[in-house]
Structure 1
């Protein structure tokens, strides 16, 4: 494979166009398929310096690397359209989908002998993006080289197809789920006109938590998770109360109910602390949802 082979991006939305723009800094020939795309997409592609091709067959024949960056519900359709043309190069599945779906997509390319690289994009298009890559080492290396010296930091991961997607989804759950929790918490406080006091308490707790465990929950997972696991059996009922209050004020109550389920799975730790982080995490698996509740 050439050091920086002709590369296709399907499809250049804001994120795809940002990736294309960075690859073009390395003089990578980036192609795209304008058929059926909107005027806004066409403008982005032209501004990013992408070269249009007339049809999917030409795109597949022209490209040695194809990067799929599309809405997650379209990931399989995009992959099938490429695999169906007999693509034998490197297909980069860079959408926000689960490891299991990535594995199924990889199977589409097995008859062709193509290489499938799993990718997870972290960061906004306007910032330095992190492009995590997993899968066959030669394919990972070839894709990483496309972005040498650019504002896309290509980061290889140990592990096969699915590893990068798992990181992407785990990060998204923490980053975006935390915002949803904050929004519903604030809405409840606002309903009872104590939002200002909630914000003050949140700032106080954030400072205290930083002193105890570091800058984020993941600076010290053991210090952050294990205390919650040990006390979680007491917090399940509190979450049920919160859910009732949210329901009474016409706010979404699913979040605290889900949190209550997490705490319920830590019921076996009522009378003793977890021995280690692995034990606490093991109790979260689905097989433990029917663990006996503490009296």
Structure 2
């Protein structure tokens, strides 16, 4: 979005970054329109939506913040649904789909809300990566795509150096930007 903004700025008075999160408006759903950019311009874009079924929300920090939020949410929301479908397909292939559903129904919160669990995941990554590789193998054996599991294993391998170490959320997330030590 920053690149698009820089291309438009010579001919535009302002550029606003916008991202819609949520389903189309209905009686029970009110999507959010996140806006970022110059304050006066984002306020002008938000104004027509204030009395609509779309909730405008301004983000501080300039162009790119709205798009970054949308892609951050998308990376979880859409990929987690795809991953759930693949997990269910594997369970179904082995006749354990009802047991998988029973386990899932016992969860009370989504993983995206459990940020305090990231450091615990990082400390256990040394044993999770091999399990994810085994899951990829099981998916392949069932003729299901393996890329999601392989990618998940690659991600947790970046936490390998944190084996059984207490760490904070920031350090755990920072470590994801670093290639694993070999």
Q: Same-fold call, TM > 0.5?
A: yes
Q: Is 1:120 paired with 2:19?
A: yes
User: TM-score, normalised on structure 2?
Assistant: 0.93
SS of the counterpart of 1:273?
A: coil
Larger Rg: 1
**What is the total number of aligned residue pairs between the two structures?**
179
Q: Is 1:251 paired with 2:141?
A: no
Instruction: Check whether the contact 1:261–1:289 (CA below 8 A) recurs between aligned residues.
Output: no
Q: Distance in 2 between matches of 1:144 and 1:191?
A: 48
Deviation for aligned residue 1:174 = 1.1
- Aligned position for 1:216: 110
SS of the counterpart of 1:132?
A: strand
- Aligned position for 1:289: 179
Instruction: Check whether the contact 1:266–1:280 (CA below 8 A) recurs between aligned residues.
Output: yes
Deviation for aligned residue 1:263 = 1.0
Q: Distance in 1 between matches of 2:61 and 2:149?
A: 34
Instruction: Check whether the contact 2:139–2:145 (CA below 8 A) recurs between aligned residues.
Output: yes
- Aligned position for 1:280: 172
Correspondence 1:63-82 to 2 at 5 A = none
User: TM-score, normalised on structure 1?
Assistant: 0.58
Structure of higher RCO (CA pairs closer than 8 Å, 6+ residues apart) = 2
Q: Distance in 2 between matches of 1:271 and 1:226?
A: 10
- Aligned position for 1:155: 57
Runs of 4+ in structure 1 over 2 Å off: 215-220
Q: Distance in 2 between matches of 1:192 and 1:152?
A: 44
Cα deviation 1:177-222 (Å, max 9, x = unaligned): 1111100000001111111111112222x1xxx3xxxx33343411
Unaligned 5+ segments in structure 2 are none
Aligned CA RMSD, in angstroms, stands at 1.3
Unaligned 5+ segments in structure 1 are 1-101
SS of the counterpart of 1:156?
A: strand
Q: Distance in 1 between matches of 2:5 and 2:54?
A: 24
SS of the counterpart of 2:34?
A: strand
Q: Is 1:241 paired with 2:118?
A: no
Correspondence 1:52-67 to 2 at 5 A = none
Instruction: Check whether the contact 2:160–2:180 (CA below 8 A) recurs between aligned residues.
Output: no
Cα deviation 1:223-243 (Å, max 9, x = unaligned): x21211111111000111111
Instruction: Check whether the contact 2:9–2:15 (CA below 8 A) recurs between aligned residues.
Output: no
